Homo-oligomer: A and B are copies of this chain.
Amino acid sequence: MRSSYRDIKAIVLTRIRANIWPPGANLPGEIELAKEFGCARATVNRAMRELVDDGILERKRKAGTKVKSSPTRRAQFSIPIIREEITNTGADYRYVLLERQTITAPGWLRSRVEIPKGQKVLHLRCMHYAGRNPYQFEDRWINLAAVPNAAEYDFEDIGPNEWLVREVPFTDGELVFSATNASSEIANFLNTTDGTAIFTIERTTWLDKVNVTYARLYFSRDYKMTTRL
């Protein structure tokens, strides 16, 4: 068998690690590499493109391909549906809707997500449990202009997260990770004490520039998010 693009990737990686092509170094052009590996240029091209994706190489037209000097490897993680995340651990998933009300978007929300003044939004608060342990407290606002049929759904059985990913497509999303000290209210929900450090995700979602939803997700004490490079 001829060299597959996988083999080429492996060889290139080996050479980089062996410092044959140290960081910053220009490596030979595609035609030359194709000749060396005895394969078509397209095959080399694919291997190179994937290595750029992986954050190992940098390429510029005319300038050539070079090894990234600061290899900012891109970590990839997927945002799972929370139910799947819990059931995957073997625990069973329980969801409780705590509060559901339609309000006009408060100022802080409008400033955050560009919703016009007076716009109605649906505010939901709910808890997700793994077995009998609190797992996540979800504080969510849904833009009813973008998702009118949310107003008619009761969210008693299915969480807003899950409902939204199934019903509403989106084009852009932002995730902000941070650590917050639990307020007494949140501490209560998550069955911990005031001030406990809580891993928090803020998630904002847009469909073509118009905001769909904004959510604050407070995870249980000791929650860790893991990802591999």
Q: Which residues of A contact B (CB under 8 A)?
A: 16-17, 23, 53, 55, 69-81, 84, 165-166, 169, 171-181, 195-200, 207, 222-229
Contact = CB atoms under 8 A, between A and B. Distances in A.
A17 B208 CA distance: 11
Contacts of A223: 178-179
A19 B45 CA distance: 35
22 contacts: A17-B207, A23-B166, A53-B53, A55-B78, A70-B166, A72-B78, A73-B78, A74-B78, A75-B175, A172-B228, A174-B226, A175-B226, A175-B228, A177-B177, A177-B225, A178-B225, A179-B200, A181-B195, A181-B197, A195-B195, A197-B197, A197-B198
B75 A77 contact: yes
A142 B227 CA distance: 21
B79 A72 contact: yes
A209 to B, nearest CB: 14
A51 to B, nearest CB: 14
Number of copies: 2
A197 B174 contact: no
Contacts of A195: 181, 195
A179 B176 contact: no
A154 to B, nearest CB: 21
A206 to B, nearest CB: 10
A180 B182 CA distance: 12
B73 A173 contact: yes
Nearest to A84: B70
A20 to B, nearest CB: 12
Nearest to A81: B70
